[in-house]
A = this chain, B = another copy of it.
Amino acid sequence: MTTALQPQRTIAELKELRTLTGDENGAQRVAFTPVWVKTRAWLAQKLAGLPVETHTDEAGNFWATLRGESDRELLIGGHMDSVPNGGWLDGCLNVMAGVEILRRLNTQYGGRPPVTVRLVDWADEEGARFGKSLFGSSACAGSLNMAEARGLKDRDGIALPDALRAVGVDFERVKESGKELKKAAAYLELHIEQGPVLLDLGLPLGAVLGTFGVERHAITFHGQAAHSGSTPMNRRKDALLAAAKMSLEIYRIAERSGNGVCTIGSCTTKPGIVTSVVEDCRITLDQRHLDPATLARMYAEAKEASERFAREGGVSVSWERLWHIAPRPFHPELIALCEAAIKETAGVSHRLPSGPLHDAAEVAGAGVPTIMMFVQSLHGISHNKIEDTREEHLVQCVQAFDRLADAAIAWIAKMN
């Protein structure tokens, strides 16, 4: 059934793309830049031999549509953009695997599969330039905060609407792209894991349960500056000490949560000089879990702990929410189909949540039945030129993802 599939061609094309759009520091396909525009042209050329309709929607997302017997649609998504100095697989593996699946379907069904199949290259998944990830998919899903996005600027002071205009996108109309999802019956996304779970288990592939919800806060402890020489230890109101206790506490909170994660990613101190007790200490806390109630409890536990540490140290504490997204559980039937496709390909599968966000979270949030498949990452590392996956695993992921596409087509065709 999948005899026409050529996973080695996908790998060869990814290597071709790496040469075309990378340098000695890694991939340079930052969204809305000339390299990204060149990448899109390269992608269009790869699709040129197929009977697909292509267009770019109002949000800058690129679509290739292979019309089927039914107008119910199977969507396969990814993103060609990368962070600066990025890896060779993050995002583009998904798209190029999708191209290969379109080729196979076209061959098998003589250009007309049972349902319509569409490949989408989402615009600016990474948010590397404007600090707002999932731009194109959130615009399409309708969740994009327009007021906030309108005010975003890159480090050169260029506003997002101006950068979009330069690539032919009218910012004020981006949500009109929402019509693209009107007939979507299922959404599939393949991705490198970007973490070490499959690596540690020695497994090539996993079925993703959903994307973690995220609670992201800045926590500021406020104590009193005091001379480092003349202030006895028991007289200090040391903001850093309270923050330091949080750094230990989040490991206990994460442990109690099961498989949630907590990260303090930054710490800043004021006055921040060697001869003074720290008066103000600001830390950022990022908490993630797949279960909404557990995530809420993790947040509550962190808040309670911060207040306890503040009391102990005679300092005060304030919290500021930076960002929040609800967990996005994927579709149970698609999870089962994904697992079956993986087992058929690799013998064994593993279910795992996704810590990082993906465009799939936005599509799921818009009500489209969604599933992701993960392939093992070497080193558990991405967003880095050393990002890599074993070649045999790349072959397996294209095969399994193709099997999943077939199963999803059958699943959609059965609907009514």
Contact = CB atoms under 8 A, between A and B. Distances in A.
A261 to B, nearest CB: 6
Contacts of A226: 380-381
Interface stretch (A19-27, A139-147, A280-288): A280-288
Interface string A351-389: 000111100000000000000000000001111000000
Nearest to A216: B274
Interface in A264-280: 264-269, 271-278
A402 B51 CA distance: 102
A196 B278 contact: no
Given A241-B251, A251-B241, A274-B266, A196 B231 contact: yes
Interface string A184-227: 00000000011111001000000000001010100000000011
B196 A232 contact: yes
B274 A228 contact: no
A227 B269 contact: no
Interface in A219-247: 226-233, 235, 238, 240-241, 243-247
A248 interface: yes
Given A241-B248, A248-B244, A230 B194 contact: yes
A263 interface: yes
A197 B227 CA distance: 13
Chain A contact patch, size range: 35 or more
Copies of this chain per assembly: 2
A152 B103 CA distance: 69
Contacts of A288: 228-229
A131 B271 CA distance: 15
A243 B246 CA distance: 12
A265 B261 contact: no
Contacts of A251: 233, 241
A400 to B, nearest CB: 20
B286 A274 contact: yes
A254 interface: yes
B196 A227 contact: no
Nearest to A260: B233
A228 B263 contact: yes
A107 to B, nearest CB: 36
A321 to B, nearest CB: 12
6 contacts: A229-B286, A233-B262, A244-B244, A265-B271, A265-B275, A266-B272
Interface of A: 193-197, 200, 212, 214, 216, 226-233, 235, 238, 240-241, 243-248, 251, 254-255, 259, 261-269, 271-278, 281, 284, 286, 288, 322, 354-357, 380-383
